[in-house]
Amino acid sequence: MRDKKNDKARLELMLEEIDNIKEFLKDVTSLEELNANKILFHAVVYNLQCIGENAYKLSRPFIESHKEADWEGMEGLRHVLVHDYYNTNIATVWTIVTNDLQPLKEKINTILSTTFPDS
């Protein structure tokens, strides 16, 4: 359900999921290392799915007023990871976790501090 009162909580969950991925990968330095550890790979993918699910459940007014993040892209990634999982491209996952998560975390932190400053 898309409920405006949950937008802040969903953003906070997304930060937690980003931190989970960063913690899981703290000693992983290459795509090959990630590929060699199937449990780790699936843990990372699960958290990416959760990020996408939380993006999907953000309220429409929130999404319309915060176009600085690619909420639709996160939703789309989640759909691919959940429904087309057998075609998941590990190189794409690696690119996302190494290039896109930190900027996303920074955007979410900025949104939280400016949109929900007294919470």
| pLDDT at residue 13 greater than cutoff 90 | yes
Distance between CA 62 and CA 2 in Å, rounded? 10
Tell me what pLDDT residue 77 has: 94
Structure tokens at 39: 């449990």
Query: pLDDT exceeding 70 applies to what percent of the chain?
Result: 95
Tell me what pLDDT residue 4 has: 56
Tell me what pLDDT residue 84 has: 87
Distance between CA 4 and CA 61 in Å, rounded? 8
Tell me what pLDDT residue 47 has: 98
Among the listed residues 56, 38, 108, the one whose alpha carbon sits nearest the alpha carbon of residue 46:
38
Question: pTM for this one?
Answer: 0.92
Tell me what pLDDT residue 2 has: 56
Distance between CA 68 and CA 47 in Å, rounded? 21
| Average pLDDT value for the chain | 93
Tell me what pLDDT residue 51 has: 98
Domain boundaries, the chain: 4-115
pLDDT band at 118 (very low <50, low <70, confident <90, very high): confident
Is the Cβ–Cβ distance between 43 and 24 less than 8 Å?
yes
Q: Tell me the pLDDT tens digit for each residue of 78-116.
A: 999 999 887 889 999 999 999 999 999 999 999 999 998
